[in-house]
A and B are shown apart, each in its own frame.
Chain A
Amino acid sequence: AQSVTQLGSHVSVSEGALVLLRCNYSSSVPPYLFWYVQYPNQGLQLLLKYTTGATLVKGINGFEAEFKKSETSFHLTKPSAHMSDAAEYFCAVSEGPSGGSYIPTFGRGTSLIVHP
């Protein structure tokens, strides 16, 4: 079984400040991990994903995430927030080919608020 916990339903930062969105996962097999962004009234857009290899993953719009197996974490960061980053962010986990299913399980989401 797999699950995702996103710490903090809302995160508020000032424009130009560091963005840190937290995600912890549970998986019985080596996980595949994803971050998606959702703007109001739109579908989800993939920001980045980790499958195998390098644990620091770079995505679109300046975001990156680091897979830390010992901490079962996959936190999303961006050095400098922009007003256009305000959106809902979802972390997701799926089990790779050695697992039971590659259907992702999503967290409840974190709303990023960016202040001028």
Chain B
Amino acid sequence: DTGVSQNPRHKITKRGQNVTFRCDPISEHNRLYWYRQTLGQGPEFLTYFQNEAQLEKSRLLSDRFSAERPKGSFSTLEIQRTEQGDSAMYLCASSSSGTFQETQYFGPGTRLLVL
């Protein structure tokens, strides 16, 4: 168990550019979540996968955001035509289904700065 990893840890981009983040969950975990955290706030749910199926999306996930988990293992979160308001920490978490007492394990996050 190596924990949840996220790459890159930091990303600086110019407004209008596209960015992609990667999350590698704990290997035996079938559920994967993406959150966004802005300064002074708690994490806000964006979307969630069970295996390769994207089961739930928040209203926060605009059309410029897309997430995939093609083989039910790692996941990518892409933001197209970035805006300054997209600047935030993007957190990934994973868990194992089976009961609703599942615990989510978080990665270290990717901090995005849009100039």
Contacts and interface: CB of A to CB of B under 8 A. Distances in A.
Size band of the B side of the interface? 20 to 34
Interface string B7-45: 000000000000000000000000001000000111111
Given A102-B100, A103-B56, A43 B106 contact: yes
Given A32-B100, A101-B56, A41 B108 contact: yes
Given A92-B42, A107-B42, A32 B56 contact: no
A72 to B, nearest CB: 18
B100 A43 contact: no
A44 B102 contact: no
Interface string A85-101: 00000101000110001
A96 B100 contact: yes
A103 B45 contact: yes
Nearest to B33: A103
Contacts of B100: 32, 51, 96-97, 102
A101 B33 CA distance: 13
Given A96-B100, A97-B100, A101-B56, A43 B42 contact: no
Interface of A: 4, 9, 32, 36, 41-46, 49, 51, 90, 92, 96-97, 101-109
Interface of B: 4, 33, 40-45, 48, 56, 91, 93, 100-109, 111
| A-B residue pairs, 3 tightest by C-beta | A106-B42, A43-B106, A44-B106
